[in-house]
Chain A
Amino acid sequence: MVLDRLRRGAFARDPKKIPDGLWEKCPGCQKTVFKRLVEERLDTCPECNYHFKMGARRRIATLIDDGTWQEWDAEMSSADPLGFVDSRPYPERIAQQQAKTGLKDAVLTGRGRLSGIDVALGVMDFNFNGGSMGSVVGEKIARLFERARELRIPAIVVSASGGARMQEGVVSLMQMAKTSAAAARLREARVPFISVLTNPTMAGVMASFASLGDIIVAEPKAMIGFTGARVIQETIKQELPEGFQTSEFLLAHGQIDLIVARQDLKAELARLLAYLKPAPSARGAHA
């Protein structure tokens, strides 16, 4: 009832009428919006369609048919190759991120059905240490590509990441090579890979597997790029153009195939996959 009236916008802008904690401020339009309404719209703003950051579990629930999800490598967690310490030791940081998010690391992978289509899906979670790619993300993504190739089912990866995980040094940098090498084999086998870029997808992830989709999809107004805007500004000492490094900027510069709103993502992925069928056999690439 209340929700109905909210949808009509009658007192959507009058927070006083509804108890605290049920409202949140939209970073897109700065308006105070009703949380349940945002959730109902898959975490987008009813006023401006701003796409809030979405956790990996929730993302999977929005894309995969009920009861069909089987998670892969669920227990994998990070070691500490360098014995890295900054304000705290790296293993402590990991433990704290695990407690905060209920995740082992910054990506979930598995197999499930998307509108009836058998797919291998990976979803990154920005809440876990900024979605940074270390050994766990690299290994799980590489295995995802290898399994998709073996099973001959399409791979989809939804990215959200600030880049490589500094605390693993060059080991994290080399995850770019590891994931891209696995993507090369998937491509050679002519099994499709759709990369979905969400806010934000930057640096080491964007400069590796996230840029290697047969199709690259982005959510609206996501921040996507190689170098962060602050570093660019400090280097060139110029104002950055309006809308720099947004999905729309990438689309205009020919770097992505399409922008899809979150509410339409599942249907659009299914539509794409109907065209991009894995080649029929392991020798498909040579058929």
Chain B
Amino acid sequence: MSTPFDFLEPLSRLQDKIDELRQLSETSGVDVSREVASLEAKLTAESERLFASLTPWQRVQLARHPLRPQTSDYLAHACQEVVPLAGDRLFGNDEAIVCALATWDGIRCLVVGQQKGKDVHERRRCNFGMPHPEGYRKALLKMRLAERFALPVVCLINTPGAFPGIEAEERGQSIAIAENIREMAALRVPIVVAVIGEGGSGGALGIGVGDRLLMLQNSYFSVISPEGCAAILWKDGAMREVAAERLGLTAEVLQRLGIVDEVVPEPPGGAHRRPQAMAEILRAAVARHLRELLALPLDALLERRYRKLRAIGSVIEPPAASA
């Protein structure tokens, strides 16, 4: 049976062999360290080869990998003194967005991140990472708190999109996202945003406006899912791989377009293979940006943020047209 992860098959086979040898050595006491080392070198080389030529569609698959580290992993491995904060004090507590006071590499801050859930129960509670309006409103409430106490904000994006449902529309999905975008554009503390998995459209942007935008190497950020784009523009779902290619949704393309500030490398074989190592890498990257931003005077920070957003776009104007 084919799965979206068939392209990772050579890596899993090597990993299985390594695991097998290790087990053998444990039960029999035979020294296999040389064989293991050589297989591990082979695994690294093989994953480097494979990952150097991933297609955008394969990147999308990696971004959606069920074992990919989530906000909860970064809170566990990249943060200390974590205090989760629930609720929007209006309607409910949307677990698709996690908010927590946390100490990030020694910097006290607020972490806001989408959470898809790790097992059947958590996935259901988190609605597979698709927030309702109350999730966005919770995020805004906590960001306002961070602003009042001069805590910088770290946002971790990982959503297929805001939830498309009746209740979400009834409670103002559009308005919740729009207000978050507006308030984040002017929030008077530094904001570092990192796309850790799926960056699905407006639902991602609802916690995605800030001073710096980072993307993990195998995450994606897109105006629409490749499947949705294929259905609309080609009227053919099978065109999703082409759509992924054309949409320019990878970290490298978005860095070239000046939208992404830094592409964060993942451990060999992808973030899902070594969540802890991934957390270490992201911790260092985010902390570096936070320190740079914290050193700026607030007015300069806000002006830069505005200029950065304001500069995105590509239009053609006759030379003397703008009066």
Q: Which residues of A contact B202 (CB under 8 A)?
A: 164, 173, 176, 203-204, 207, 226
Tell me whether B169 and A232 are in contact (CB under 8 A): yes
We find that the number of chain B residues with CB closer than 8 angstroms to chain A is 57
Task: Determine which of B164, B170, B305, B306 lies in contact with A227 in the assembled complex, contact meaning CB atoms within 8 Å.
Answer: B164
Q: Is A236 an interface residue (CB 8 A)?
A: yes
Scan A174-200; emit 1 where CB is below 8 A from any B CB, else 0.
111110111111011000000000000
Tell me whether A169 and B248 are in contact (CB under 8 A): yes
Q: Which residues of A contact B208 (CB under 8 A)?
A: 177
Tell me whether A171 and B246 are in contact (CB under 8 A): no
Q: Which residues of A contact B257 (CB under 8 A)?
A: 81, 170-171
Q: Which residues of B contact A231 (CB under 8 A)?
A: 164, 228
Tell me whether B174 and A212 are in contact (CB under 8 A): no
Scan A204-233; emit 1 where CB is below 8 A from any B CB, else 0.
101111111000000000000111000110
Nearest neighbor of B168 in chain A, beta-carbon distance: A226
Q: Which residues of B contact A169 (CB under 8 A)?
A: 222-223, 247-249
A156, B323: Cα distance in complex, Å: 21
Question: Nearest chain A CB to B257's CB is how many angstroms away?
Answer: 6
Q: Which residues of A contact B309 (CB under 8 A)?
A: 174, 177-178, 181
Tell me whether B173 and A207 are in contact (CB under 8 A): yes
Q: Is A22 an interface residue (CB 8 A)?
A: no
Tell me whether A253 and B170 are in contact (CB under 8 A): yes
Question: Nearest chain A CB to B246's CB is how many angstroms away?
Answer: 6
Q: Is B310 an interface residue (CB 8 A)?
A: yes
Binds A, one of B21-29, B62-70, B179-187: B179-187
Tell me whether A212 and B223 are in contact (CB under 8 A): no
A170, B257: Cα distance in complex, Å: 9
Tell me whether A175 and B234 are in contact (CB under 8 A): no
Question: Nearest chain A CB to B162's CB is how many angstroms away?
Answer: 7
Tell me whether B169 and A226 are in contact (CB under 8 A): yes
Q: Is B124 an interface residue (CB 8 A)?
A: no
Tell me whether B221 and A226 are in contact (CB under 8 A): no
Tell me whether B310 and A171 are in contact (CB under 8 A): no
Q: Which residues of A contact B168 (CB under 8 A)?
A: 226-227
Q: Which residues of A contact B228 (CB under 8 A)?
A: 231
Question: Nearest chain B CB to A226's CB is how many angstroms away?
Answer: 4
Tell me whether A244 and B166 are in contact (CB under 8 A): yes
Tell me whether A181 and B232 are in contact (CB under 8 A): no
Tell me whether A226 and B162 are in contact (CB under 8 A): yes
Q: Is B263 an interface residue (CB 8 A)?
A: no
Instruction: List the 5 shortest-distance A-B pairs measured between CB atoms, nearest first.
Output: A135-B313, A181-B185, A227-B164, A211-B178, A79-B314
Question: Can you list 19 A-B pairs with a CB-CB distance of less than 8 A?
Answer: A73-B322, A75-B317, A82-B246, A164-B201, A164-B223, A170-B247, A171-B313, A177-B209, A183-B182, A207-B181, A211-B174, A212-B178, A226-B164, A226-B202, A231-B164, A232-B165, A236-B165, A253-B170, A253-B172
